[in-house]
Structure 1
């Protein structure tokens, strides 16, 4: 296993849905905490978005392990925030059998 350097400060956020009173719901993002991470690029491509072309970039984000159910353990559907950049978490798995680190497969969307 290569050495992991956790040198990026990320905010972990989760969706919180609230009823809007008209039969729909509003989605807000709630901050769960701060995690230190290593960010490694994975892939990039152009895709069609609702308002036109968007650049989609894949990243592998590595964070310290946390037990299942812990609020500091990332999960699919959550996201990381680094300043104005947002990384949607698609999948999470342990990096090694001891679970010291977690690998989060993420995607960032950027409008050109």
Structure 2
């Protein structure tokens, strides 16, 4: 496997990086509480959109591939905030194992 070449000009979106710290509610559940933990230049590519039935409704799931320079502390469950959109990280990996980039598979939160 060769080394990934990525034109830095492709990292053209500024995204806030957020962590979710759920707050327990009175009903035994939890409410999401997102707070900013960083910022990064990213490349966002739509990956797929699928519709599936859930609880009698048709629910759309939209996924994206987000590429950024490697950074410590990024993990599944965190999110990229792009304006009013939140892309929640489902998986992340180093595409060529050089420690230069991370590729995240994200699901757009609705």
Could you tell me the TM-score, scaled by structure 1's length? 0.78
8 Å contact from structure 1 (residues 12, 34) kept in 2: yes
Q: Distance in 2 between matches of 1:98 and 1:41?
A: 25
Gaps of 5+ in 1: none
Deviations 1:25-59 (A, max 9, x none): 43200111111101112111113456833322211
In the alignment, structure 1 residue 108 sits paired with structure 2 residue 108: yes
The Cα of 1:24 is off from its aligned counterpart by 4.5
Superposition deviation, residue 75 in structure 1 = 1.1
Which residue of structure 2 lines up, in the alignment, with residue 46 of structure 1? 51
> What is the aligned residue count?
105
Offset of residue 79 of structure 1: 1.0
For the aligned residue pairs, the C-alpha RMSD in angstroms reads 2.2
Equivalence for 1:37: 42
The 10-residue stretch of structure 1 (1-10 or 44-53) with the greater mean CA deviation from structure 2: 44-53
Using a 3 Å threshold, how does the CA distance of structure 1 residues 50 and 84 change in structure 2: closer, same or farther?
A: farther
TM-score (norm 2): 0.79
Change (3 A) 1:24 1:106: closer
